[in-house]
Amino acid sequence: MSPVSEITPAQAAAALDALTAIVARASAIILEVAEGGLSHRLKGDRSPVTAADEASEAAILEGLAQVLPGVPVVAEEMTAKGKVPALHGSFILVDPLDGTKEFIAGRDEYTVNIAVVSGGVPIAGVISAPKRGDLWRGVVGIKAEHLHLTPTGADRARPIKARRWPAQAPVAVVSRSHYDPATDAFLSRLPPVTHDSSGSSIKFCRIAEGVADVYPRLGTTCEWDIAAGHAIVAAAGGIVTTPEGTPLSYGRAAANFRVPSFIAWGDPAMAASPKP
């Protein structure tokens, strides 16, 4: 595939099983490294990194070079070292271990994320939760699924779909580490919601599965943290936008791949409705 071509959803769907296998392999490596004990160091931005992050990323990069040769890859640890490829056409965003703080703390909420971005928009995503044995994947306009994670791939696929805003007991998934007054103020303007706190991109997956309804993140995050979840939510019928309801754009190297804020909705109509 030419590095300047745009990957279509159909092409992404054809590569989905191979991308799933790459994520499964990285997940198995993370679990294997964890068995040997955990230690970490701080990167320049003061975020933690472990040997599992680095081993996972190495395995993912090796796999992507075989599955989608020539397609640029923007990966978290590679970018932290100043290695950013020129972006022309489609590219891939990789977070080899999203939720490193959760991983270090021994929680099961950390994930592995891979997203295919075309036209500045995530069109396909794969997310695994290694310790939970779960995997979610989706291609926009084609399908969204939850699967059982195996060491070499995933099985027991079942379709998932985001739900419309419920008349009773809507659920807001929020960050355990980054909940702030702005998020609290935003949620207070919605009909009463139940808060469900967790780490990593699992929050997107809960919306895609139809068990949660909104995920606001009103602080800065990175594109590789959210692109796969964005694709899976969209594939399941939801939407991810800026707080103003406008589309997010990915591949913003000049902004260091930072996203100022976003809101994920299970019901797209909620993104367009005025808030008090």
Q: What is the CATH classification number for the domain harbouring 213?
A: 3.40.190.80
Domain boundary among 159, 186, 213: 159
* 13 neighbors 139 (Cβ within 8 angstroms): yes
Which 3 state secondary structure label does DSSP give 194?
strand
Q: Is 233 found in the same domain as 196?
A: yes
Beta bridge partner(s), residue 5: none
Beta bridge partner(s), residue 49: 41
Q: Is 44 found in the same domain as 90?
A: yes
Q: Is 123 found in the same domain as 241?
A: no
* 57 neighbors 76 (Cβ within 8 angstroms): yes
Q: Is 152 found in the same domain as 28?
A: yes
* 49 neighbors 77 (Cβ within 8 angstroms): yes
* 113 neighbors 125 (Cβ within 8 angstroms): yes
Q: Is 14 found in the same domain as 141?
A: yes
What CA dihedral angle connects 144, 142, 18 and 133, to 10 degrees? 10
Residue 155 included in any domain: yes
The whole domain housing 62 covers 9-159
Range 146-155 average pLDDT:
94
Residue 247 included in any domain: yes
Q: Is 220 found in the same domain as 142?
A: no
Q: Is 153 found in the same domain as 52?
A: yes
Spatial CA neighbour of 116 closest among 211, 243, 238, 23: 23
Letter for the amino acid at 265?
W
Phi, psi angles (nearest 5°) of residue 259: -110, 120
* 77 neighbors 45 (Cβ within 8 angstroms): no
Place 105 in a pLDDT band, splitting at 50, 70 and 90.
confident
Residue 82 included in any domain: yes
Domain boundary among 96, 131, 159: 159
Residue 179 included in any domain: yes
* 96 neighbors 74 (Cβ within 8 angstroms): no
Q: Is 128 found in the same domain as 45?
A: yes
To 5 degrees, how large is the angle CA 247–CA 253–CA 258? 60
Q: Which residue has the higher pLDDT, 250 or 41?
A: 250
Q: Is 92 found in the same domain as 18?
A: yes
Q: What is the pLDDT of residues 213-257, one digit of tens each?
A: 999 999 999 999 999 999 999 999 999 999 999 999 999 999 999
Give the chain's domain count: 2
Q: Is 144 found in the same domain as 177?
A: no
Residue 234 included in any domain: yes
Range 270-275 average pLDDT:
78
Q: Is 176 found in the same domain as 120?
A: no
Q: What is the pLDDT of residues 128-144, one digit of tens each?
A: 999 999 999 999 999 99
Helices (H), 105-196: 181-188
Q: What is the CATH classification number for the domain harbouring 20?
A: 3.30.540.10
Domain boundary among 139, 159, 179: 159
Q: Is 219 found in the same domain as 82?
A: no
* 208 neighbors 233 (Cβ within 8 angstroms): yes
| C-alpha distances out from residue 226 to 38, 137, 189, Å | 25, 13, 24
DSSP tag of 125: E
Q: What is the pLDDT of residue 102?
A: 86
Residue 165 included in any domain: no
At 109, list the tokens: 């909420």
Residue 196 included in any domain: yes
Residue 26 included in any domain: yes
Distance CA 79, CA 128 (A): 21
Q: What is the pLDDT of residue 4?
A: 46
